[in-house]
Structure 1
Amino acid sequence: MPSKQNGFSLKRVLLPGIILQSVLIGGGYATGREIVEYGGKFGAGGWISGLAIFVGFSFISILSIEACRQWNVYDYKSLLKKMIGRGWIIYEIVYLMLAILIIAVMAAAAGEILYETVGFNKWIGVLLIVSLVGLLNYKGDEVIAKLETIGTIALFAAYILFAVLVFSTRGDSILAVFSRWDTSYLPEAPSIGLLIWTGVLYVGYNLAVYPASFFTYSGIKTKRESIIAGIISGLLMTIPWFLTYFAILAYYPDKNVLAGTVPWLTMLAPFHPIMIVIFGIVVGWTLVETATGMIHAFIHRIEKEVTARSGQPMKKMSKAYISIAALAASLLLAQVGIIDLVSKGYEIMAYAMIAVYGIPLLFFSRKLLAKG
């Protein structure tokens, strides 16, 4: 009988998806604004974007895991050097810009939501989140993995609850959108090409979440496990998208929802006030998870560089300071506003991430998939 180390392990193939989903949910789903821009606004046709997103996430996950496994590299600097050589520095710049942008969106949302739902002063909420992120990065890999696993389960449960509430009261509205193939929020019906490309762009700007999961790939031992882990990752990363998408369709084409800064607040308003409170808490924790995951990946790269040069591991307090500095930069950017950050900032960063990560990875896809 194979040992647990060498045999198939459910934990090994689940962990990459759990970490990816926990980091993605902040920049990808939390406010609902992201789903409006990358699918919801298309009404009945938006599911095609969602399908493209699932395929894209699954394929990129498989390739990323296989690249790390076959090349035996588990930090993004080493991986990028394998793919684009000295061009890795460009990725560093793009990654940091996108990470700060994603955290800025979450910070802007969290400050507003915590104020409106829980009654926290915006800066009290921000300082609390900054402290938690710094603390988690201070504690290290094991604590991050454990808390993000717990957090992911809680987030999934909350979003399922929110979606079920909407579906149970407005399910007929969702069916009506499909029955009349309603795409009326936009002046013209979207083409298949636009729907698919929108899904590609969504995957593109969210490519920044992958380095946060590289440390979990070391447990993957075979290509079979890579494929299973990749598909599971794709599912975990896409299910919340569809839950939010269908919830948005329940109000389609209501501009109060589709043009809202935080669509979930409008969608949950008719229900018991406790739902809004739960949403506020969930989004607050989502920001913590997102910021922690993305900053953790950056710190991991810096730590490797410091260790290589000095022979000494990076101090935990230094990790906490880096976390706080990155969050401070994000908070400044957050003043731009959620809608502009999502609609304009994310699209620009999507093209950049596709250029420095997606295309190079696809270039090696044939070799990675052909090799055992």
Structure 2
Amino acid sequence: MSGTQAQQRGTWFQRFLLPAFAMKGVIIGGGYATGRELTEYFLSQGPVGGLLAMLVATILWSVVAALTFAFAHAVGAYDYRTFMDRLLGRGAIIFELCYVLFSVLLLAVFGAAAGEIGQSLFGLPNVVGTLALAALIAVIAGLGESAVEMMFKFISPILYAVYAIFLILAISRFGDRIAESFAAGIVGPQWPVLGATYGIYNIVTAIMILPVLRHITSRRNAVIAGAIAGPLAMAPALAFTVAMVAFYPIILNETLPSDFLLQRINSPAFRIVFQLMVMGALLESGVGVIHALNERAANLYARRHDAAMPHRWFRPVTTICVLAACMFVANAIGLVTLIASGYRLMALIFLLSFVLPLLTIGSARIFRRNAAPTSHDDMPRASLQPPR
């Protein structure tokens, strides 16, 4: 096998874990990292009801991610517009409009969360945290694909380790309260709906991380990577939710449940470590969103100009423009309102424009005998060119 082929085939990590880490990276941002989404969609249904809702969301993530990765491999689609063109044809424009709006919403949530963390941890004005996050996203996303993959590779293990320590500390400090809350057996009536809602609007992240699927070499690789993406993406949420159960139901009213818990754990050093980890999670998420938009722009540029886009200036300029246009929506609307209102509408939109077509049209194409995977040599090269 030649050096080029080896690079395209990728390592075991790139084929199986990188897609899961990338999907987790985008999902965890904003409310998930701060705990706000988890209280809104899971813990609001009680401790036991929250776990049932999480199970629904996890199964949805694994099934839809496996189908998404397999379809992308089968048709050679590694940016979201090409993927939707293959799936919906002319109807792809409907998805793209919704997708861009969702990206704006996500970046606004990330900006709001970063501002809240900066204010809570260091007493800084909200705009400072938002600006710091925007600058870091612009640097990494502007450097291109290799920098994005390197970020997921190194930040993800740190994130899992911090969440594991967080759960251990929570159990050691107030494990009896956690046990009592679970023993009460509270199950809200909306857990199936909220679990499905959370699962559906978040699974669109499987589309956002398509650029990192270029290393997958077979349908089997794609299905395995998708199947393990669900549990790996939900694992930090499970640890976080179990810890929050100790203070159910008063924690439901907290804008930053993470900081609420950290203050009660009463470890100033770990509080700083955890909040810095949350900023790292927001960075992962923001870079994932921007990278997907950059890859779409790169593909469009390559088609129109029959050449790779000029990496030195195109990616940074695109990144800065997108961030400037949407991250400061956060300061005007607020984190809680963004999560409670915007996400439910997006769940319905993506159910109709992505999940249902994938489960029907996409599944039929994946398992059709003549659905041969497209060669890497036939793919657009725009995003694979090294920076100049």
TM-score (norm 1): 0.91
Residue 59 of structure 1 pairs with residue 63 of structure 2: yes
Match among 76, 82, 99 for residue 103 of structure 2: 99
Which residue in 1 is equivalent to 2:25? Answer: 22
Partner Cα distance (1:309, 1:209) in 2: 27
Alpha-carbon deviations, 1:198-241, whole Å to 9, x = none? 11111222133223321222222233222221121111111112
| Cα contact 1:29–1:240 (8 A) shared by 2 | no
Residue 339 of structure 1 pairs with residue 336 of structure 2: yes
Alpha-carbon deviations, 1:107-164, whole Å to 9, x = none? 1121121122134443333222222111112210001100122111122222222222
Which residue in 1 is equivalent to 2:383? Answer: none
Which residue in 1 is equivalent to 2:356? Answer: 359
Partner Cα distance (1:350, 1:295) in 2: 20
Which residue in 2 is equivalent to 1:149? Answer: 153
Aligned partner of 1:82: which letter?
R
Please report the RMSD computed on the Cα atoms of aligned residues, expressed in angstroms: 2.2
Which residue in 1 is equivalent to 2:244? Answer: 248
Which residue in 1 is equivalent to 2:76? Answer: 72
| Cα contact 2:79–2:295 (8 A) shared by 1 | yes
Paired residue secondary structure (2:33): coil
Partner Cα distance (1:114, 1:7) in 2: 38
Aligned partner of 2:345: which letter?
I
Which residue in 1 is equivalent to 2:281? Answer: 286
Which residue in 2 is equivalent to 1:220? Answer: 216
- Identify the range of structure 1 (6-15 vs 295-304) with the bigger mean alpha-carbon deviation: 6-15
Residue 265 of structure 1 pairs with residue 268 of structure 2: no
Which residue in 1 is equivalent to 2:374? Answer: none
Residue 315 of structure 1 pairs with residue 314 of structure 2: no
Residue 327 of structure 1 pairs with residue 323 of structure 2: yes
Which residue in 1 is equivalent to 2:129? Answer: 125
Displacement of 1:289 after TM fit? 1.4
Which residue in 2 is equivalent to 1:38? Answer: 41
Residue 349 of structure 1 pairs with residue 346 of structure 2: yes
| Cα contact 1:63–1:368 (8 A) shared by 2 | no
Alpha-carbon deviations, 1:15-50, whole Å to 9, x = none? 110111112110461110100111111112111111
Consecutive unaligned residues in structure 1, runs of 5 or more: 184-188
Partner Cα distance (1:60, 1:28) in 2: 22
Which residue in 2 is equivalent to 1:186? Answer: none
Displacement of 1:180 after TM fit? 1.8
Displacement of 1:329 after TM fit? 2.8
| Cα contact 2:10–2:216 (8 A) shared by 1 | no
Partner Cα distance (2:31, 2:71) in 1: 24
Q: 1:159 to 1:249 in 2, by over 3 A?
A: same
Match among 120, 126, 138 for residue 116 of structure 1: 120
- Identify the range of structure 1 (269-278 vs 354-363) with the bigger mean alpha-carbon deviation: 269-278
Aligned partner of 1:265: which letter?
D
Aligned partner of 1:349: which letter?
M
- Identify the range of structure 1 (324-333 vs 285-294) with the bigger mean alpha-carbon deviation: 324-333
Match among 271, 276, 284 for residue 276 of structure 1: 271
Count of residues in correspondence between the two structures: 361
Aligned partner of 1:356: which letter?
S
Aligned partner of 2:253: which letter?
A
Partner Cα distance (1:246, 1:329) in 2: 37
Q: 1:27 to 1:95 in 2, by over 3 A?
A: farther
Partner Cα distance (1:138, 1:6) in 2: 24
TM-score (norm 2): 0.87
Aligned partner of 2:181: which letter?
V
